[in-house]
Chains A and B, each alone.
Chain A
């Protein structure tokens, strides 16, 4: 019998979208088996997810209010053992990335990292994931009795109707041994509080072709604002000092797969493309007719970004 445990991440008292999506994935995968949600330290969030799970384990204890990775790992390991989980679902993201492997090692399990198409085949969990800078698709299989799977936001749909009233059970977690481990300090938000890049539906990315920090602000940020989109930058734009690392998309930055990706003055080096080639619709605007990104674009706009982007903003304004 499979028991699926979904780790719920939350921010400012609300569950993250990526975690909610996992509840609907769990429901689809579990069939008749129970779906358990694990919530660290926030009773309000526990209540919010309860309608979508059969059981909610509310993990409470010293230091779990603002947990570091080790404490989160300890809490989720306790929840997994408590629930008898055979599959633990976690959202991929900086936190999931750091905790899921720890959990796999701690529980003697396997890690299915950034998987899609999760399914069972003859007693083992399987899925697909990208490799080689997002150029290859691998089918991977867990060889352990418990699998930890991290899933990117947008892979599964948000939960629709509530599946059933889940009971919330409080589970006390003892202090993590060596509680003097990593102490997160003060947090500084990147950018101006726009949509988180990895969860955005629309992304506007600027590259070296934009020309300057001022032009980036005017063209790329302006267009992103018009579309309610997240702002991204190539390594070239970040190296030039125009944008912060948090906005970088590519091999050494973030991977995104929005519904719509607009690349402004981006030539399309492999290292950048690896971070965005799973996007739904790709628009590339560049004055170089031989820009590599044009090979990957649904719409290749050959022209000067300083003329095309303002025209695009006008056209969008006129649309509504």
Chain B
């Protein structure tokens, strides 16, 4: 089995954001491999260590800076990396076809994608690529097993969890609970520099959705501070919620 694990280079939770000419600018030092994608990389590497998979390919679609996320994936255990390079801001639907092409080129049987992306706040990429590939998708997987040529999983649905199964090849979107990702050790970070790294130019793909403007609103909160005797504070809070905030 060959696994492709998609990785994205996103601002980390503490990154400082600002707006610049209608776009969001991020303090360059604060990027990292998207936490959601890490569960996919970890799962792929574990299957390789268990002998279920023979190759793990990390794939990213984005600007040259995305190399960092790919190098982290290599340090976590991926065998090789592919960067589909573009400076264009492409939405998940537009990315679906070039990514599907890369998955097919790698001869993969499984594609892992993080359940939600921390920059676009989008859960669309997994389903979009699954459609472009014509593969079934297990989204928000929390348990995963390979039984012969079938993928067995447990995943989140609107009102609970559900068992799921489908024949390979398949796409899986990953989230917390699927596994406990390892951290890249220093020896592995250094070894990663020697692993194969391929750059593929991307041309002729138009965005399906464009961003016209961006803002960083800060919502004014009442900022009422209540302290002191619990009974008095509770009574005060209930009264304010009912009369002031009209929330009760």
Contacts and interface: CB of A to CB of B under 8 A. Distances in A.
Interface of A: 11, 68-70, 73, 93-95, 97-102, 104-106, 109-114, 126, 129-144, 178, 180-190, 196, 198, 235, 238, 245-246, 248, 251-253, 259-260, 269-271, 274, 277, 280-283, 294-304, 307-308, 310-312, 314-316, 319
B136 A296 contact: no
29 contacts: A69-B137, A94-B158, A95-B158, A98-B127, A100-B127, A101-B127, A109-B93, A131-B24, A132-B24, A132-B121, A136-B24, A136-B215, A137-B215, A140-B211, A140-B212, A183-B166, A187-B157, A188-B160, A196-B158, A245-B177, A274-B13, A281-B241, A283-B241, A294-B225, A300-B226, A303-B227, A311-B231, A315-B235, A319-B242
A30 B245 CA distance: 34
Contacts of A297: 221, 223
Interface residues of B, number: 86
B130 A102 contact: yes
Contacts of B237: 283, 299, 301, 312, 315
Contacts of B211: 138-141
A34 B202 CA distance: 40
A301 B232 CA distance: 11
Contacts of A126: 212
Nearest to A253: B176
B115 to A, nearest CB: 8
B118 interface: yes
A113 B122 contact: yes
Contacts of B26: 132
Contacts of A260: 241, 245, 247-248
Nearest to B225: A300
Nearest to A150: B124
B209 A141 contact: yes
Given A99-B127, A183-B165, A134 B121 contact: yes
Nearest to B235: A315
A104 B212 CA distance: 20
**Interface residues of A: mostly helix, strand, loop or mixed?**
mixed
Given A131-B214, A184-B162, 11 more contacts: A101-B93, A111-B91, A113-B124, A134-B121, A138-B24, A138-B211, A142-B208, A188-B161, A297-B223, A299-B226, A301-B233
B17 A135 contact: yes
A217 to B, nearest CB: 19
Given A298-B221, A299-B222, A73 B241 contact: no
Contacts of B121: 114, 129-134, 274
A234 B237 CA distance: 23
Contacts of A302: 225-227
Contacts of A95: 157-158
Contacts of A178: 134
Which of A99, A110, A259 lies at the interface centre, i.e. has the most chain B CB atoms within 10 A of its CB?
Answer: A110
Which of B93, B96, B126, B206 lies at the interface centre, i.e. has the most chain A CB atoms within 10 A of its CB?
Answer: B93
B213 A138 contact: yes
Contacts of A111: 91-93, 124, 128, 208-209
Contacts, number: 264
Interface in B1-58: 11, 13-15, 17, 24, 26, 35-36
A70 B136 contact: yes
A259 B35 CA distance: 29
B214 A137 contact: yes
B238 interface: yes
Contacts of B247: 259-260, 280-281
B138 A182 contact: yes
Contacts of A269: 13
Contacts of B242: 319
Contacts of B210: 140-141, 143
B245 A298 contact: yes
A105 B132 contact: yes
B142 interface: yes
A103 to B, nearest CB: 8
A280 B147 CA distance: 47
A142 B210 CA distance: 7
B203 interface: no
Contacts of B116: 251-252
B186 interface: no
B102 to A, nearest CB: 16
Contacts of B159: 11, 187, 189-190, 196
A98 B157 CA distance: 10
B210 to A, nearest CB: 5
Contacts of B224: 298-300
Nearest to B248: A260
A185 B154 CA distance: 9
A104 B95 CA distance: 12
B144 interface: no
Contact of A142 (B92, B124, B209): B209
